[in-house]
Amino acid sequence: MTWICSRRRGRALLVAMAGLWLFDAAQADVGQIKVATGQVSVERKGQSLPGRVGLVLESEDVLRTGADGAVGITMRDNSLLSAGPNSILTLEHFEFDPTTSDGRFDARLRRGTLAVVSGRIAKKSPQAMTVRTPSAVLGVRGTEFVVSVDE
Amino acid sequence: MNRLACAAVVAAMLLVACAGPKETVVLLPNPAGQDTAVTVTQGTRQVVLAQPYAGARLGPNGAEAFPSNAQQVRAQYGPALAAQPLPPAQFTLFFVEGKDEFTDESKRIVDSVFAEIAKRPVADVIVIGHTDTVGNDAANDALSRQRAEVVRAAFAARGLASDKVVTIGRGKRELAVSTGDGVAEPRNRRVEILVR
């Protein structure tokens, strides 16, 4: 009996660990830089990386463009985000299940200009994607739009 | 003198008006023609943009709707729009029944896939295998994975690095043509390819 119990507990632990691993995996590769011109950098955990084409992005990355910079990214759910010069764009939260299209995507434009084409997350559930500006929350219903924030 | 003071006040007011909105949102037309919208929420107030080029300016007095147009959008968002990545391109390859072999027509589609990959500086490719409903789940899951792997190998043979390709097998869960169980349907024996 105790043997069965401990085996069950072991299995529960395994399931929990698998869940954590999936969560980590979801955070580690949320999208990729597909287009970059001029000065582009990515802030990650206090470090600044050059925002080169091909760079794989993570949740909480902050993308910055200089006066001559622009950057375009494709997210795992096929959302397309592109920012013009002098922009600060944060990928605050991204999770996505490719089998079911369930997930959550929150981005934030602190400054600059941003063009958005929403992807599978917003298509599956209109409440699941938002873009925040300093003063507003934009809800996305299967959409292309542009947004700007002047400082 | 009075008139001058008046003009100064009016000029100052105009300047304040011109300093204008700090944030702007504009809904763009949807090429696929689906119904789309953006909701703009500021505190308890909400504006819904549902028409192409419907815009909202967000100022201290809340969101104010305004009509924008293609020229305005180009002028303000040109560089951001120019940096938009190419949308993902989708292809479908078909297989000979019960095998992991392409049909002849599908061999030609592979050329289009490579043309699409060549257009992109850093293409990543997702390959999703499917089967028809002949056979049990386990066999179909295995076959669908095998089909996806055949595509990966075929692409590798043409010089596409395997680490750029993610393969997924969905068995008979996502039929292109819905059928009963145990039905041989060529249109379901397929691999979908997404070039991103």
Question: CB A149 to CB B22 under 8 A?
Answer: yes
**Does position B185 have pLDDT exceeding 70, yes or no?**
yes
Q: Which of B35, B56, B82 is the last residue of a domain?
A: B82
Quote the percentage of chain A above a pLDDT of 90.
Answer: 72
**3-class DSSP state for residue A51?**
coil
Domain of B37 in residue numbering reads as 2-82
pLDDT at A15: 46
Q: Are residues B66 and B138 in the same domain?
A: no
How does pLDDT run across A56-93, given as a tens digit for each residue? 999 999 999 999 999 999 999 999 999 999 999 999 99
Total-model pTM: 0.79
**3-class DSSP state for residue B144?**
helix
CA distance B53 to B46: 18
Q: Are residues B190 and B94 in the same domain?
A: yes
How does pLDDT run across A90-116, given as a tens digit for each residue? 999 999 987 778 999 999 999 999 999
pLDDT at B6: 54
Q: Are residues B71 and B140 in the same domain?
A: no
pLDDT at B107: 80
In a mutational test of the B interface, the residue from A76, A88, A147 whose CB has the highest number of chain B CBs within 10 Å is A147
Task: Looking at the complex, report in whole angstroms how far the Cα of residue A112 sits from the nearest Cα belonging to chain B.
Answer: 9
User: Which of A136-145, B16-25, B178-187 has the weakest average pLDDT?
Assistant: B16-25
ipTM above 0.90, yes or no: no
Residues in chain B with CB shorter than 8 Å from the CB of A74 are: 85, 88, 196
pLDDT at A18: 46
**Does position A13 have pLDDT exceeding 50, yes or no?**
no
Q: Are residues B101 and B190 in the same domain?
A: yes
Question: CB A146 to CB B77 under 8 A?
Answer: yes
Residue B180: HSE in the Cβ half-sphere, 13 Å Cα cutoff = 1
Q: Which of B56, B82, B108 is the last residue of a domain?
A: B82
Say which residue, A134 or A28, is predicted with more confidence.
A134
Q: Are residues B109 and B190 in the same domain?
A: yes
Residue B109 backbone phi and psi in degrees, to 5: -65, -30
User: Which of A18-22, A105-109, B128-132 has the weakest average pLDDT?
Assistant: A18-22
CA distance A7 to A4: 5
Domain range list for chain A: 2-149
Q: Are residues B58 and B38 in the same domain?
A: yes
The CATH architecture of the domain made up of A2-149 is Sandwich (2.60)
Domain count, chain B: 2
Q: Are residues B93 and B167 in the same domain?
A: yes
